[in-house]
Structure 1
Amino acid sequence: MLKILLIDDDKELCQLLSEYLSNEGFAVDMIHDGQQAVELTEQAAYSLIVLDVMLPVRSGFDVLKILRQHSQTPVIMLTAKGDTVDRVIGLEIGADDYLAKPCDPRELVARIRAILRRASIAEANQPNVERLTSGKLSLHLGTRTATWDNQDVVLTGTEFSVLEILVRRAGQVISKDDMTEQALNRKLTPYDRSIDVHVSNIRKKIALAGSTKDLIINVRGAGYMLTLNDEQ
């Protein structure tokens, strides 16, 4: 049974979501402050974490920053309704997706299943050594790891999915609608900047690995494209 960790100081909401997720076949643990969350995630492994931004002791942002130092466990952040800034910050730090509170439990389950589906596909492909390359950039599909000129590029699961889409169609412009559907398994909605932030994170991480050019370009009004004239 897949284990989900709910981190939220709203105990009534946690209980509601826990009961719903349990009925959907998940094992659920709950924690209600940021410091306890940090300590627990250093000791226990979870398939996915649902993390609220507003927490006592340590904020959800602090928890996510610390988590990303040692784990790429998928994270869905819960943000205040309409708070675009919190959503962007969460994605920049390394969240895989977000939902506005109060969230519909059915929508949360759909997001969780979409993320875990990608993870299960990756696990099933583990023996497969298939590799995608574009210049010095390599994606190892079995392990869902990436390298630039043999230097590791540490990506979240969602970032890997976004980059895989771009590499598979290198030299072609891919719309944000298509990228959202393929990488996030949902429709693009107005004011949704998830793909933009994930692409920005990927750019930064490839640059840290040694690339001196911007490989992913934004074609205004059309989408994103991985260029073919990268460093050789």
Structure 2
Amino acid sequence: MIISIISKMLAVVKMPARLLVIEDDSVLSGHLLDYFSERHYLVSVCAEGPAGLDAATAGDYDLVLLDILLPGLNGLELLNALRQQSPVPVIVVSALGDEQARIQGLINGADDYLPKPFSMAELAVRVDAVLRRVALERVRPEEPQWESVGKLVLCDHSMAAFYQETDLGLTNTEFRLLQVLLEHRGAVLSKPFLYQAVLHRGCGRHDRSLDLHISHVRRKLRDAGAAESAVRTVWGQGYTLITDNL
């Protein structure tokens, strides 16, 4: 069984990854096309919001690189519409690097956010991290795997989580975060560990992606009736899931 799963993962990893770049800056999109094509990705480019949304929903892509300031339909609106039709992973890359823009991008369902200007090397690390997670998801067991504690229930196959029978509406990243916290319930998990286990990459000094995902999980649990303190911050150490509060 283990050998079979490993073989499937290797087969998936060897397939060229398909990237969709939705970016209206022709110079930057050209650099992205050249850079990732040289790294043996299959890259498509769209310069407008409506065309990008059509391509993202109709195409079979492994990852979307999405700008926010787009003509016709801005990136946050595009992402919100896309999430109603497709779970394709999205990394937002935008000159709007302020915290509110990052928060809104992640709320709308982005898997990661990288402010401009950025280095191609850093973007490549984040792209590779998301694609590793995609490869793992493709070899999930066909039979649903359920895990529960208190009123919280997680289904590994569908990546859905329920509290008091209410669907929490988690994104794939939020589901993985809650799943890792549940697997290590009661233990304090450091940020570096969670970045590797959930986002499949290291954390930068000013990187707040994990904090924002934690905040969203807390809010969705709270909205479903769970205690605010179910996911607890241990200052200077990390995060822990308090199952007594579930």
Whether the TM-score (by the shorter chain) exceeds 0.5 is yes
Q: Which residue of 2 aligns with 1:76?
A: 91
Verify the 8 A CA contact 2:132 2:200 in the aligned structure 1: no
Corresponding residue number in structure 1 for 2:174: 159
Do the aligned residues in 1 keep the contact of 2:23 with 2:47 (CA within 8 Å)?
A: yes
Correspondence for 1:103: 118
Aligned position for 1:196: 211
Tell whether 2:53 aligns with 1:45: no
CA distance in 1, matches of 2:33, 2:241: 41
Match for 1:219 among 231, 234, 244? 234
Offset at residue 88 of structure 1 (A): 2.3
1:170 matched residue in structure 2: 185
**CA displacement, residues 32-81 of structure 1 (integer Å, 9 cap, x when unaligned):** 12122223333333211100122122211111111122222111010227
In structure 1, what residue type is equivalent to 2:225? S
| Structure 2 portions without partners, runs of 5+ | 1-15
Contact in 2 for aligned 1:6/1:14 (Cα 8 Å): yes
The answer on whether the counterparts of 2:22 and 2:46 sit within 8 Å (CA) in structure 1 is yes
Name which of 18, 23, 32 aligns with 1:17. 32
Quick check: 1:134 aligned with 2:146? no
Aligned residue in 1 for 2:132: 117
Q: In terms of mean alpha carbon deviation, does 146-155 or 66-75 score higher?
A: 146-155
Which letter does structure 1 place at the counterpart of 2:175? F
What is the CA deviation profile of residues 168-213 of structure 1, one whole-angstrom value per residue up to 9, with x for unaligned ones?
11122222232122212222222321111101212233344x3242
Find the residue that maps to 2:65 and give its secondary structure: strand
Assess, with a 3 A threshold, how the Cα gap between structure 1 residues 107 and 188 changes in structure 2: closer, same or farther.
closer
1:150 and 2:139 are equivalent in the alignment:
no
Paired AA for residue 27 in structure 1: L
Determine helix, strand or coil for the equivalent of 1:87. helix
Bigger mean CA deviation after superposition, 79-88 or 26-35: 79-88
The whole-number CA distance in structure 1 between the counterparts of 2:226 and 2:86 is 27
SS of 2:243's equivalent?
A: coil
Amino acid at match of 1:158: T
* Aligned match of 2:47: 32
TM value normalised by structure 1: 0.88
How far apart, CA to CA, are the structure 2 residues paired with 1:110 and 1:57?
Answer: 30
Task: Give the AA of the match of 1:211.
Answer: G
SS in 2 for 1:229: helix
Q: Are 1:128 and 1:141, in contact at CA under 8 Å, matched by a contact in 2?
A: no
In structure 2, the CA distance between the partners of 1:187 and 1:142, relative to structure 1 (3 Å rule), is same
TM-score (norm 2): 0.84
Structure 1 residues 44 and 53: CA distance shift in structure 2, 3 A: same
* Cα deviation, residue 6, structure 1: 0.4
How many pairs were matched up?
230
Asked whether the 8 Å contact 1:170–1:226 carries over to 2, the reply is: yes
Sequence identity percentage: 34
> Whole-Å Cα distance in 2 between the matches of residues 79 and 93 of structure 1?
15
Aligned to 1:184: 199
1:160–1:171 Cα change, 3 Å:
same
